[in-house]
Structures are given as C-alpha cells and as structure tokens.
Amino acid sequence: MQDWPSRITDLITLETHFGREGLKCFADRPANLNQMLQQAVTRNGQGEAVVCDDVRLTYDAFHTQVRIVAAGMAAHGVQQGDRVALVLGNAPEFLIVLMATLHLGAIAVPINVREGTPELAHILNDCGAVLVVHDTDVAAKLPAADAVPQVRHRFCVGGAVEGAQDYGALSTTGEQSDAAHVDPEDTAVILYTSGTTGQPKGAMLAHLNIIHSTMHFEMCMELGAQERSLLAVPASHVTGLVATLFTMLRTAGCSVILRAFKADTFLDLAAREKVTQTLMVPAMYNLFLLRCNVADYDLSQWRIGGYGGAPMAHSTIAELAEKLPNLALVNAYGATEVSSPATIMPLGQGHIRADSVGHAVPCAEIRIVDETGRDVATGEHGELWIKGPMVVPGYWNNPEKTAAEFHDGFWKSGDVGSRDANGFIQLHDRRKDMIIRGGYNIYSAEVENALTAHPAVIECAAIGRPDPVLGEKMQVFVHSTDPTLDAETIKAFCATRLADYKTPDFVTFSAEPLPRNANGKIVKKALRDMV
C-alpha cells in the first residue's frame, strides 16, 4: 500500500540521526534553518515574507532585519548555543528575533504570553536563557531579576520599561556577520509543553526536525511560493511556529500575521490579503461560522483549511463545504515532540474521511502497539508510537522524561488509535487526562496540583467538558468541607498560579470524597458521567 505519490516517496533515503538508525529522510533538503531562509531570499527576494497591520516586509528586507537584530544580540553577548527567550505575541518582531537567534547559532525559546509568573520563572531558569525579548503587556508578569539571575538583558517591544531596554536598541549596535555554522542535529528551538506532573518540560526541536516538518506540509498540502498563510494561532505554539511561520520560509511564501483572533477580523484579513492556506483549531472555524456571514467576504483564494488539536464536527465540515466549496479541509495530527505533523489528510479526502486524521507523513513510521509494545492488527486499538526525522531527540535538561517517553527511536505518544487497511489513522482517545480547550493543551494534573495548594481544598479532579465552540471546557470537582468556598474563589486562586486559559470554567463542590477505585485512584469516568 502506497500512502503518498512516488513524486514524494522517491525523494526519501534512509539515514542515521540522533543515534537512531533507519530514519526516512528527504535527501535534498537545507542543511539548517539559516540555509532554508537564504534559499527563500534567493528564490523570492522581492516577494512578501511578512505582513502584519501596516508592516510589509519583502524577503530581502526581512533578511536585512534579521541580520541587524542578530548583530545587536551578539553585541550584548549572545553566543552560539545560548538560549534566547521570546515572550512575544503574534507580531513581525517574533519572527525577526526567532531567525536572528538562529542566525547566531543560538537557541530560541518561545513562550506563550499568557503564562503566569511562576511558569515564566521555571522556564527561564530551566533553559538558562541569557536574554529575553518581550511585549510591553507582559513586562509586569516577568520574574524579578533575582529570580532569574542568568538573564543578563531584557528588551521590550513597544518601548523601554523598568528593567528592560527598548527593542529598538538591538537595531543600533553590533556589526553584521554571516550566519553561524550549525549542524542539522543542533537544537534550534526549545518548546515547553506541560508534563503530566504539571512541570513543563522543554522539547528540543533540532534544525533537522523542523525542516522535515515544513517539507511535509509543503509536499502533502502542495504549497508553493505563491502561498499566503494566515497565522491565527499563537506563534509560540508548535502549530503556529512550524505549520505557518517556518513552512512559509520553506516555501518562500508569505506569513500574514493576525495579532489576536476575532472571527470578523480574521475573515476580513483573509479576504484583504488573499490568504490561500491556514492551519487552526476547529474552534476558530466554528466561531466565524457562528458569528459571521461568510458570503460577505471574498475568500476565493483560500484553498487549504488545515486543522488539528481536536476533532471537527461533521456539521462544521458540512457547513464549510456549503459556504466555502473551494476550501479543502486537511486534518493534521501531531505534537510538540514530533515538531508538529505526524499525520496529514491527503488533499481531497477531508470531507470523505472526516473520521480520520489522515496518513502517516511520508518520512514517519507509526506503530500502533498494545500494552506490551507489540504491534496490533489492522483495525485494532493501541498506542501510537512515532518515529522519523521530525521526532525530537528528547527534553532539555530532563534525561528521566526523555528515557520514559522515547524508546528505540520512537516517541510514545500516549494517544490511542487504529489504522485501517487503506492506511488511514483514527484517534480514539487523547493523551491521558489531557484537556484541549480552544486548541490549548492542558494537563489536568497541572491544574489539580495548583488547586490542592488552597487550604480549603482536600482533593480535586479536572476533566474536559464538551463544548461546541472551544471543543472542551474545564470542569473541576472539589472535595471540601468549607461551606464558604465558592466557584469564584477557586477561579481567582487558579488565576494567580496558572495561565488564564488553564482557569476552570465550571466548579462542582462535594462534601464527600471523590470516587476512587481499589487502587485509591480517582475514577474520572465516574466524574465525566456526572456532567
């Protein structure tokens, strides 16, 4: 059985990387992300690379900005291998700082601007960031200098604030230089993802990983230099980072940046900029169908509607087919640990196989195994194990988690799925106890750990509650004997310790202990049956 056409598979050879033998790799590829950018500049120097509000940068102009900011960072002591933290929302500066960091051979650490102070402190200390570039809006949330002693410099986009220089200072100092030499297996980006214990862990995305993911999007979605991709999800998330920003650099296409998603703003921008491709969460499609008259916008150029993070309702698929008949829906399943896509739906199959997340991407090997690690038969359920050049080598500064989640070159996803006789993969359950709210991954243990710090909370449990717009909202069950404890108190308590999207939507109180099995573990199925 051949999942992908020979024009793609004929480009694949077997290589060894990260000590993993037999990896299927594209033979003809950029050596690193700096070379990938240079190729885009050579191919499409006068074409638009970045559009955001009134900012329009050609590839030539964008590359110049990258070199200038890289020189400024070098003048402030950033060296090859150093970590640079980006606490930036969707903006041209995000992409400029990202590529300037890579230009120096340093490692970029994008962080969601919605993270709270404790999370920011943990990430900055864990990765050992020496320089932080941040938005004005998050300046007050950043840890104090003595809490992150290794951070030597802070630069604020939008003007100087207490403790930080104006971002513009990076453009006025330093001498430009050629891009540093980096190996394909060198870490390019560290992306922190919540762990099941609630402690974020940093997945190390190598140049090789990201390049293969961008090539998967390019080939499987048939993208080219004419592409205009609208960034609507956070740039700091693997989807926004790889599926849009890096993929457009690979194709020499244009990243159209939306600072914050609003349904009408999204459609207006998509129409005005003649957007051709997106990759979003289903909740975003639901929102503009719910709140806007799609016929009011000229979306005739929009041909690829990628989505992931949650299933898309059949009603949504049907409505999109009716209102946007030229739009090909493309489901893509992935994770930070696989640098975004592990599967992609072949073009033209999205409405036919709405039950599936598509085929394994061309360079991926996906095993579906039972609890003993043995392959299950076609059609049977098991855990997805994923191997390929896009699978990260492990977690930063965390050998224990690396050893636990990676085996024989495979990443053990924790997701339960099956594969049919035609190679289509179905997902049947998500990673244990994960809640996906509007495309954001929330581990219940992280919320539970925060809540149990409240003196009136004896025990608690968090579950996902189906929601037609966001996919899921969060329901927490709290066992407490304090009759004065109420939902607003619980939400306010969480808000001081967690990112805002991790705050519970619903709270149920119980004076009795939560249901447990014989092993003393809370039975979440029983809780789900209650909502």
Architecture of domain 59-182: 3-Layer(aba) Sandwich (3.40)
Q: At what angle do helices 263-272 and 282-291 cross, to 10 degrees?
A: 90
Sequence-distant (6+) residues with CB within 8 A of 459 are: 452, 478, 479, 513, 514, 522
Sequential DSSP letters for 64-82: HHHHHHHHHHHHTT--TT-
In this prediction, residues 219-235 reach a mean pLDDT of 96
Q: Which of 305, 308, 378 is nearest to 342 (CA)?
A: 308
Residue-wise pLDDT tens digits, 123-175: 999 999 999 999 999 999 999 999 999 999 999 999 999 999 999 999 988 88
Architecture of domain 434-528: 2-Layer Sandwich (3.30)
Residue-wise pLDDT tens digits, 435-477: 888 888 787 777 887 888 898 988 889 999 999 889 999 999 9
Q: Is the pLDDT of residue 518 over 80?
A: no
Give the separation between CA 503 and CA 447, rounded to whole angstroms: 8
Residue-wise pLDDT tens digits, 187-224: 999 999 865 445 789 999 999 999 999 999 999 999 99
Q: Which of 168, 146, 147, 144 is nearest to 156 (CA)?
A: 168
pTM of the entire predicted model: 0.87
In this prediction, residues 359-378 reach a mean pLDDT of 96
Q: Is the pLDDT of residue 392 over 70?
A: yes
**In the chain, where are the structural domains located?**
59-182, 434-528
Residue-wise pLDDT tens digits, 312-339: 877 788 899 999 999 999 999 999 999 9
